[in-house]
Structure 1
Amino acid sequence: MKAIQSLSSKILAAFIVLVGISHHANAQKTMLDKIVAKVGDEYILYSDIKNQELSLLQNNVAIESGMDCEILEGLMYEALLTHQAVIDSVEVGDEVVNQEMESRLNMIAAQMPDGIKGLETFYGKSVAQIKAEFFEIIKKRMQAERMKDEITSGVDVTPKEVKTFYNNLPKDSIPYINSKVSVAQIVLYPELTEEDRQKAFDKIKASRERVTNGDISFKMEAFNTSDDPGSKTQGGSLGWQTRGTMVPEFEAELFKLEKGEISPIFETQFGYHYIQMIERKGDNYHVRHVLVSPQTDRNALVACKVKLDSIYNAINKGEISFEEAANIFTEDENGKGKGGKIINPYSGDYKWDLQNINEIDPSMSRFVDMLNVNDYSKPSLYDNYMEQKSGVRIVKLLDKTKPHLANLKDDYQLIQMAALAKKKQEVIDKWIQNKINANYIWVEDAYISKCTFKYGWITTGS
């Protein structure tokens, strides 16, 4: 919402964009540096401002007149948070910083044509050297975020405050809400037999033998055989990943491998796999794999549908409600005990934007178009792409809103979040001004003369 976006939050968001880090080393080599501001014991350099401008340009944000002043104020805000974090002993453990570092480096590497290798080429340094160079930068930023969280930890809003916030919003600041749906389902999966598992194992055993005997390349075998739709078209390649991304059984096998080696066959919740190590750098790895998922016998799937048909008929006759049937029979663990409701992991509630739900369940839009609110579908085949298995299900449309301007009745949670964000920002604003008055602040004369700051940074002297 426009009404609650503050300069400091926008600048800080841009400030920690990862690509900005990737410009830092090269920018330092080419620009004449100097100190432009000091907040407590924290210094802000001219190069810091230019690095943020480069980051914004990289993210297709136009650099407008006065942008350097906004960037400087954002950097001073973060410096104040970091300075106070040191005073208040707000710590961020090295292990947490390293995890964040891994995540950020992998995000950069994913944008490079050659992944981790491209990252090292860009810097002219190894991954270990890059981590050492940026460790303190990341740590300070994380300290600042943790300090900010501590400042606002006790802030909350009452229903009255939410209503007042909404009523005071300018009309052009009220967001337009897309249509949202709430759905529930009863899912049954046919039980896998030992025979089903043996067939899958025999298939992947023959697949691995073709590769290790040199009858076919790993890439072509993955394309022909693998049941992983995301990687089979890439010759089984999973791209660069980092430790903790994959399920434990998968990573336990891959970290045993040397470059070029192929693992034995092993099992995860998705089925049977074997892996080839392409390259590994510390906790970062690039592998390709073949997956064969056990498939249930068609007769077992038919028996499963017969059972769901009887549940459907019982619901139709009023012998049991949809919600009761879902709680008793559904094999969707996320919906069990919740009347079969499908929770939205993006928001934590049961309302979905159709685009979001279709990313997880591509066939759901068909049910939404076909059903009226409180109607439910006949039992039909269900392909669970997330867990790589098939079953049958009944889907119920619980609610479907029309596109509309946000209002307190339909969008209370959204408005509550916005009201809370505004109240937190007010607390932050007050905190900043108090800390400015209690700390030594210095800003270069050139910026004092040309910048109009939101906060009174220069009132305490320069």
Structure 2
Amino acid sequence: MSLLKTHMNKVWSKNIKTVLLFIGIMLVVPAISFAQEKTIIDKVVAQIGDEVILLSDIQQQQLQLIQNGQEESPKSKCKILEDLMFEKLLINQAKIDSIEVSNDMVNAEMEQRIRYIADQIGSIEALEEFYGKSVAKIKAEFFELIKKRIMAEQMKDQITSLVTITPKEVEKFYKDLPTDSIPYINSKVSIAQIVIYPDVTEKDQEIARKKLDQIRTDIIEGKMLFGTAAFESEDPGSRLNGGGLGWQTRGTMVPEFEAVIYKLEKGEISEVFETPYGYHIIKLIERKGDNYDSKHILIMPKPSDEEFEKAALKIDSLYSEIKKGTITFETAASRFSDDKNSKMNQGKVVNPYSGDYLWDVQNINEIDPQMSRIVEVIDVGDYSSPSTYYNQAENQQGFRMVKLLNRTEPHIANLKTDRQLIEMAAKNQKDQKVIDKWVSDKIGGSFVRIDDEYSGKCNFKHAWLKSDL
């Protein structure tokens, strides 16, 4: 398969199984037996510096391949192992080069991944049921793993930071592709939107705070148990668990939360405090050094019906002004839209996977089903009438208008209409050559050990052992 096809598959194959593979082993269901009757005992199969690779690491990724419809084979095991060894080599070098990854960066990445998977599966509750653990436990369990993966990515970016690609190199790359390796491009659309959310007023905030104040008072006075009161919480990840967040470590929660938790005594319930998510109270169950076990209740301020009505009137007014021609859709988006991610682009919505404004028609439904239905019934240059809109990622409800900017016809990839995609694939090829040289240079100065079962049977791309040099 060509690099172009590989890149295409990474960008546009977005079914839920591919999502799990894309996310990596962060949220995979533990795979130990692989439906075999006997239990396989975990063991170290390779070591790069002080980073080890376990048999279970390979098994987990094999399971992901199977879930993604691929066949298990000895060759796939070897490919998985070499990919893991490359990642460990990056991590090992990142430590040597003192590449720092902040807790805030890890938490942001963790939150983004969890929200994305929850959106694909349906909800936070469905995610927790699927993986058999609370979101809090997922975060605590995979914090270090995500941190190391970010370190590896930063190291990789550093290696390829000076790589550039010229127009002539792009054209040569495309010219050298075998005809049967050039992919077929599905119809794609570019879209813009105007989103209006109702305001959360000081009165709405005070209502939420007073509600939580009363819940806290009832708990303190013994009228209600904390676990029972947690059914009022608006945190779906802990509400059905009596508010329990499980054991966490310093840096896994937002700063406002941890500023309170580390001041509490065992069994103490905090006063009401605010974070970007809303208002909380915490009960500290136990603390050991930087680790703590706690319960919390979250109440989120909600816009009043009056504010919803104002938001509806605002977007209806914008719709009328756009229809009359007194303001363009693009100007209205820039001046009035509440969607911070698109308003600076005149309302144009960026595809987070490709980094451009084009969305594959066959896959947009998995990301924004409502958007998919809208673009099916409007022509290029037209815009929809206002409709209700729920942004799952931000947990906000409001109203939205959508404009269809362009719709491409299905076609074979070419330099005229798909140059950006081809350029990305050409640069990926050039990046890979630089990375391959870096790996060869670093292997000689690194401690590498591979289990005989793999070193004797795998035909690795790189000469990881000195005996293979």
Gaps of 5+ in 2: 8-20, 32-38, 115-127
Q: Please name the residue that 2:305 is paired with.
A: 298
Residue identity over aligned pairs, in percent, reads 45
Q: Please name the residue that 1:373 is paired with.
A: 380
CA contact (8 A) 1:293 1:388 kept: no
Higher relative contact order (CA closer than 8 Å, sequence separation 6+): 2
Q: Please name the residue that 2:168 is paired with.
A: 160
Please list the CA deviations of residues 235-290 of structure 1 after superposition, one character each: whole Å capped at 9, or x if unmatched.
54556655445443233223333554432111233432223345656555554433
TM-aligned CA distance change 1:216 to 1:173, over 3 Å: farther
Q: Does residue 1:275 correspond to 2:282, yes or no?
A: yes
Matched residue SS, 1:337? helix
Q: How far apart are the structure 1 equivalents of 2:202 and 2:104?
A: 43
Q: How far apart are the structure 1 equivalents of 2:449 and 2:303?
A: 71
Cα distance, 1:425 vs structure 2:
1.8
Q: Please name the residue that 1:208 is paired with.
A: 216
Cα distance, 1:179 vs structure 2:
5.4
TM-aligned CA distance change 1:157 to 1:280, over 3 Å: farther
Q: Please name the residue that 1:169 is paired with.
A: 177
Cα distance, 1:324 vs structure 2:
0.9
Q: Please name the residue that 1:123 is paired with.
A: none
Q: Does residue 1:183 correspond to 2:191, yes or no?
A: yes
Question: Structure 1: which amino acid aligns with 2:374?
Answer: F
Q: Please name the residue that 1:9 is paired with.
A: none
TM-aligned CA distance change 1:445 to 1:411, over 3 Å: same
TM-aligned CA distance change 1:345 to 1:251, over 3 Å: farther
Please list the CA deviations of residues 192-226 of structure 1 after superposition, one character each: whole Å capped at 9, or x if unmatched.
43333332222222223333334344344333x33
Q: Please name the residue that 1:342 is paired with.
A: 349
Question: Structure 1: which amino acid aligns with 2:207?
Answer: K
Q: How far apart are the structure 2 equivalents of 1:382 and 1:448?
A: 55
Match of 1:195 among 191, 203, 211: 203
Larger deviation, residues 302-311 vs 91-100: 91-100
Cα distance, 1:71 vs structure 2:
7.2
The normalised TM-score by structure 2 is 0.66
Cα distance, 1:112 vs structure 2:
7.7
Cα distance, 1:354 vs structure 2:
6.9
Q: RMSD value over aligned CA atoms? A: 5.5
Q: How far apart are the structure 2 equivalents of 1:390 and 1:458?
A: 56
Q: How far apart are the structure 2 equivalents of 1:202 and 1:445?
A: 65
| Aligned residues between the structures | 425
Q: Please name the residue that 1:92 is paired with.
A: 98
Match of 1:327 among 331, 334, 342: 334
Q: How far apart are the structure 2 equivalents of 1:291 and 1:80?
A: 42
Q: How far apart are the structure 2 equivalents of 1:213 and 1:307?
A: 45
Q: Does residue 1:256 correspond to 2:250, yes or no?
A: no
Q: How far apart are the structure 2 equivalents of 1:295 and 1:43?
A: 52
Q: Does residue 1:412 correspond to 2:422, yes or no?
A: no
Q: How far apart are the structure 2 equivalents of 1:309 and 1:407?
A: 41
Please list the CA deviations of residues 145-178 of structure 1 after superposition, one character each: whole Å capped at 9, or x if unmatched.
7665444332122233223323433455445556
Gaps of 5+ in 1: 7-12, 121-126
CA contact (8 A) 2:42 2:56 kept: no
Q: How far apart are the structure 2 equivalents of 1:402 and 1:348?
A: 20
Cα distance, 1:440 vs structure 2:
12
Q: How far apart are the structure 2 equivalents of 1:390 and 1:442?
A: 54
Q: Does residue 1:364 correspond to 2:371, yes or no?
A: yes
Matched residue SS, 1:207? helix
CA contact (8 A) 2:137 2:247 kept: no
Question: Structure 2: which amino acid aligns with 1:381?
Answer: T
Larger radius of gyration: 1
CA contact (8 A) 1:375 1:396 kept: yes
TM-aligned CA distance change 1:299 to 1:163, over 3 Å: same
Larger deviation, residues 322-331 vs 145-154: 145-154
Q: How far apart are the structure 2 equivalents of 1:43 and 1:445?
A: 18
Q: How far apart are the structure 1 equivalents of 2:307 and 2:451?
A: 76
CA contact (8 A) 1:343 1:349 kept: yes
CA contact (8 A) 2:101 2:151 kept: no
Cα distance, 1:315 vs structure 2:
0.8
Q: Please name the residue that 1:318 is paired with.
A: 325
TM-aligned CA distance change 1:55 to 1:198, over 3 Å: closer
Q: How far apart are the structure 2 equivalents of 1:390 and 1:439?
A: 53
Cα distance, 1:411 vs structure 2:
4.0
Match of 2:399 among 377, 383, 392: 392
TM-aligned CA distance change 1:176 to 1:433, over 3 Å: same
Cα distance, 1:293 vs structure 2:
2.7
The normalised TM-score by structure 1 is 0.67
Please list the CA deviations of residues 284-313 of structure 1 after superposition, one character each: whole Å capped at 9, or x if unmatched.
555443333333332333233323322211
Question: Structure 1: which amino acid aligns with 2:98?
Answer: V
TM-aligned CA distance change 1:78 to 1:357, over 3 Å: closer
Q: How far apart are the structure 1 equivalents of 2:139 and 2:402?
A: 46
Larger deviation, residues 254-263 vs 308-317: 254-263
CA contact (8 A) 2:266 2:286 kept: yes
TM-aligned CA distance change 1:258 to 1:112, over 3 Å: farther
Please list the CA deviations of residues 435-455 of structure 1 after superposition, one character each: whole Å capped at 9, or x if unmatched.
789999999999998665545
The 5-angstrom pairing of residues 434-445 of structure 1 reads none
Q: How far apart are the structure 1 equivalents of 2:104 and 2:275?
A: 28
TM-aligned CA distance change 1:281 to 1:65, over 3 Å: same
